């Protein structure tokens, strides 16, 4: 995608490449959310309705990723690779093309075990960075 089509703030939209934007923005993979309101150069990414994150892990990584409990609804799509996720009290294998919808209050860890290098996108609603509680084992 050409740089001149990346951000059309005055037109009210943005186009981009998920992985590239996630790396370039330096916000831990987040590319849309309420937290962009502090960046006056990229206000078109600001949304109180949703948060969008691109994430990736290499096979064997993820051990430091803790389970969490969220007050928001969360939807994730596995773009490539395979993970063992913990959803509530269950262990679920998710692979490329699979998605999961997690309702508020459901303990979860989508990367309990990274079985193959994985890339994914997560969408949360509403945008509330304080809505997550990390669960300690």
- Looking at residue 5, its pLDDT comes to 43
**CA gyration radius, the chain:** 15
List CB contacts of 125: < 8 A, sequence separation 6 or more.
49, 50, 51, 72, 73
Q: Report whether CATH 3.60.15.10 matches the domain 3-134.
A: no
Query: Is residue 82 exposed (0-12), middle (13-18) or buried (19+ Cβ within 10 Å)?
Result: middle
For the chain, list the strands marked E by DSSP.
7-8, 13-14, 30-32, 51-57, 68-70, 73-87, 90-95, 99-102, 108-125, 132-134
Tell me the sheet residues that pair with 19.
none
Tell me the sheet residues that pair with 103.
none
**Taking a C-beta distance cutoff of 8 angstroms, is the pair 93, 86 a contact?**
no
Instruction: For the full predicted model, state whether its pTM sits above 0.75.
Output: yes
How far apart (Å, rounded) are the C-alpha atoms in residues 112 and 62? 6
Q: Per the structure block, which two tokens stand in for 102?
A: 């997690």
State which residues of the chain have pLDDT below 50: 4-5
């Amino acid at each position: 995608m050409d740089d001149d089509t990346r951000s059309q703030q005055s037109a009210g939209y943005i186009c981009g490449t998920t992985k590239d934007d996630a790396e370039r923005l330096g916000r831990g993979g987040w590319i849309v959310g309420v937290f962009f309101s502090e960046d006056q150069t990229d206000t078109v990414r600001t949304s109180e309705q949703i948060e969008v994150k691109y994430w990736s892990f290499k096979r064997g990584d993820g051990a430091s990723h803790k389970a969490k409990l969220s007050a928001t609804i969360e939807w994730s799509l596995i773009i490539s690779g395979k993970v063992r996720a913990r959803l509530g009290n269950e262990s679920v294998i998710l692979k490329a093309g699979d998605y999961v919808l997690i309702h508020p209050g459901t303990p979860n860890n989508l990367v309990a075990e990274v079985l193959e290098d994985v890339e994914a996108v997560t969408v949360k609603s509403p945008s509330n960075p304080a809505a997550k509680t990390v669960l300690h084992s």
